[in-house]
Amino acid sequence: MLHTDIAILIAGELRVKVPQVIATITLLDEGNTVPFIARYRKEATGELDEEQLRTTEERLQYLRNLVKRQEDIIANIEQQGKLTPELTTAINGTTKLQDLEDLYLPFKQKKRTRAQIAREKGLEPLADIILAQQLTEGTPLTTATTFINEEKEINSPEEALAGALDIIAETISERADIRANLRKQLWQTAEISTALAVAEDTGKEFLTYKEYKEPVRRIPSHRILAINRGQSKEILKVQLVASHETNIDMINRMINTGPSIFSDCILEAITDGYKRLLLPALDREIRSLLTENAEKQAIRVFGLNLRQLLLQPPFAGHTVMGLDPGFRTGCKTTVVSPTGTVLMTSVIYVTMGEGQKAKAAEIVLDAVQKYGVTLIAIGNGTASYETEEFTAQLISAHNLPVHYLITNEAGASIYSASKLAKDELPDLDVTLRGAVSIARRVQDPLAELVKIDPKSIGVGQYQHDVNQKELSSTLSNVVESAVNHVGVELNTASIELLKHVSGINATVAKNIVTYRDQNGCFKNRAQLLKVARLGQATFVQCAGFLRIKEGDNALDNTPVHPESYKLAAAILDKLGFTPNDLKNKATLQIIQEAAKTANAATLATELEAGEPTVRDILAALAKPGRDPREDMPAPMTRKNIVKLSELVPGAIVKGTVHNVIDFGAFVDIGIKINGLIHRSELSNNFFRHPLDVVSVGDIVDVMILSVDEHRNRIALSLKQVKK
């Protein structure tokens, strides 16, 4: 493959035009980020979306590595003096690293194998005679007699024949076409088989896999990861089960092409090579590929769940009380203003007798009245149910104009002990910082959750069992995508939020905040160029994603990029307005209506501009300063508690989707444990993955199928409700 072939191959895979891919590759090589290209270079890429751009970026790296490996392999084989035109063509024709490595295997330097020792003894000519299959008279031992050489420690025809068969076994096991055929055969017919390697009491977590077997081609990713975990803990024994006789016969038919005195010898070598070399190698390869695919799926699911969680609508304008529940250490309590400022902190005890509970009620009531609390966020950890019960009773008894909701507190404790939390909340005890995090993540999930390692947010499956480098890279891309999709208020954003903006690294983010602290609020985007180490290239990447609510130019509070301000002004002029009219509430509504009905194609032609950019500018003018998360349904709040005893099979309850995995979705229905909608109960219609039906944060009506109090399991159904 040539470097020039890469764009053609990617275009074919994405089913887009080659010039679109070439333009994307050029933009990526110039250092542009995917969010920037997706948003501001639509004309160049033919409006490829962010997913297509990320795929292009990923495949570009893979294929460039492939081309480099092809060049290295060709050079290596040529150095050995074994390169042929046919081999060169085959190597350059590969598009997968696995196929490439299969072709290179016979030429790869190895440790001293049995075949290598036989070659050193001069037995390769005998192996060639046997593989030629031209002799029909005599015996293999007679032929091998001429290769007896005491100096090379070949003392008998049996030893000579055995060495030759070792060479044949290795040669056959390294043939690319044989490996390809057997690999295909194993994928189609082999099974993964598991058994307990310990007593049932010790391995009760993996009892499902006590005597388990499933075809390789059908085994789902979550089961692969579960099996791998069981094997790594030495609880499970795992093996690849295949029809060895069938596989050996398939290879034999490819090699034993005619009657000769060596037919039985060749079959013996094939059997040895299959069992000793080929099957173990492909067993490892298949297990490795199953794991790799399972990890990719787990990472993909984690990424999609994380994106939905990050894009949960904020409860803007609420004064929030955050409750971080606990038994022995009490319930850590804080109140934060609508801007996230900590107004009060305390520790209350709601599980240590009526006296302590009465005192806790007094503290909470006083805080609600004094600070005007309108929403209470309760962490979902230890003692969450008891804290919710206390809160619901308090709201009911005093008829408080307050709602509450249960918040996923995953990662709050990690944040609390971090350097970032110490810098943000230096005067607060580490335990109280968790309550602040819980309250703030309700007010603005994105701004708060970016402070936490995505792996600790708890919306995936087997995140600790997958490739951590791949996971971190994917989750970093998800956070970057979410932050740039929403946009960032330049004058209030934290360093943690800013460093996820397109083009901005941790150093530049810190410099932005330092500049803001020293010079006051930014009045316009152009001031960013005064920030240390923020040059023109970085400005181009980040400016469109940074908003200034009360700036000099109203366009600074829109996704319109500064490079398009002249075009935006021209569009406004065509509509009969100026950019300053965006600041006037009386004219703003008229501009919004005009932007909604304007013809983008006509304007693009008249102004000699790209239609995608004109469309985006009109959309921005129609909703200046609008948070795209506002279009999503708000999280569900409650005033009353749901009790486990109230859950009766057949009852319909409302809940919030907490996590989506390969085998279903977990739903918070307002009690201590989440219920599971198994994928078989998600929909009556065909779907490939539960994410096609539900997403994290969705509010759904579900039917209770069963309640198992002993095992803390609740089975739910979505399809029964939607009949």
**Amino acid 627: pLDDT:** 82
Please give the average per-residue pLDDT across 580-586, as a whole number.
Answer: 89
Own/partner pairs, 328-335, CB within 8 angstroms, 24+ separation: 329/431, 331/360, 331/383, 331/387, 332/431, 332/432, 332/434, 332/435, 333/363, 333/364, 333/367, 333/435, 334/432, 334/435, 334/436, 334/439, 335/367, 335/371, 335/373, 335/439
CATH code of the domain in which 89 resides: 1.10.10.650
**pLDDT above 90: residue 27:** yes
Confidence tier at 38 by pLDDT (50, 70, 90): very high
**pLDDT above 90: residue 660:** yes
Regarding whether 671 and 603 lie in a shared domain, the answer is no
Q: What is the spatial distance between Cα 581 and Cα 577, in angstroms, rounded to a whole number?
A: 6
Please give the average per-residue pLDDT across 367-372, as a whole number.
Answer: 97
Domains held by the chain: number: 4
Q: Three-state SS for 229?
A: helix
Residue 604 belongs to domain spanning: 506-631
**pLDDT above 80: residue 626:** no
**pLDDT above 80: residue 636:** no
Q: What is the spatial distance between Cα 139 and Cα 126, in angstroms, rounded to a whole number?
A: 13
Q: What is the spatial distance between Cα 205 and Cα 221, in angstroms, rounded to a whole number?
A: 18
Asked if the structure places residue 190 within a domain, the reply is no
Please give the average per-residue pLDDT across 646-669, as a whole number.
Answer: 88
Q: Which of 480, 498, 603 is nearest to 543 (CA)?
A: 498
Regarding whether 626 and 651 lie in a shared domain, the answer is no
Domain boundary among 610, 631, 652: 631
Q: What is the spatial distance between Cα 44 and Cα 476, in angstroms, rounded to a whole number?
A: 25
Confidence tier at 638 by pLDDT (50, 70, 90): low
Q: How many CB atoms lie within 10 A of CB 198?
A: 15
Please give the average per-residue pLDDT across 19-48, as a whole number.
Answer: 98
Q: What is the pLDDT of the chain when averaged over all its residues?
A: 93
**Amino acid 644: pLDDT:** 67
Regarding whether 451 and 330 lie in a shared domain, the answer is yes
**Amino acid 633: pLDDT:** 66
Q: Which of 637, 602, 179 is nearest to 405 (CA)?
A: 637
**pLDDT above 90: residue 128:** yes
**pLDDT above 70: residue 361:** yes
Asked if the structure places residue 180 within a domain, the reply is no
CATH code of the domain in which 326 resides: 3.30.420.140
Regarding whether 522 and 405 lie in a shared domain, the answer is no
* Token code pair at residue 551: 């700036």
**Amino acid 184: pLDDT:** 96
Please give the average per-residue pLDDT across 29-44, as a whole number.
Answer: 98
**Amino acid 2: pLDDT:** 85
Please give the average per-residue pLDDT across 59-71, as a whole number.
Answer: 97
What would the pLDDT profile of 684-715 be if each residue is shown by its tens digit? 999 999 999 999 988 899 999 998 877 778 99
Asked if the structure places residue 518 within a domain, the reply is yes
Whether the CB-CB separation of 413 and 437 falls below 8 Å is answered with no
Regarding whether 61 and 95 lie in a shared domain, the answer is yes
**Amino acid 641: pLDDT:** 60
**Amino acid 639: pLDDT:** 65
Regarding whether 540 and 571 lie in a shared domain, the answer is yes
Please give the average per-residue pLDDT across 423-435, as a whole number.
Answer: 94
CATH code of the domain in which 539 resides: 1.10.150.310
Q: What is the spatial distance between Cα 638 and Cα 479, in angstroms, rounded to a whole number?
A: 29
Asked if the structure places residue 375 within a domain, the reply is yes
Regarding whether 648 and 624 lie in a shared domain, the answer is no
Regarding whether 684 and 624 lie in a shared domain, the answer is no
Asked if the structure places residue 183 within a domain, the reply is no
**pLDDT above 80: residue 461:** no
**Amino acid 642: pLDDT:** 62
Domain boundary among 631, 661, 677: 631
Q: Which helix (H) or strand (E) holds 475?
A: helix 468-486
Domain boundary among 609, 631, 653: 631
* Token code pair at residue 119: 């070659």
Regarding whether 365 and 451 lie in a shared domain, the answer is yes
Regarding whether 655 and 694 lie in a shared domain, the answer is yes
Regarding whether 349 and 405 lie in a shared domain, the answer is yes
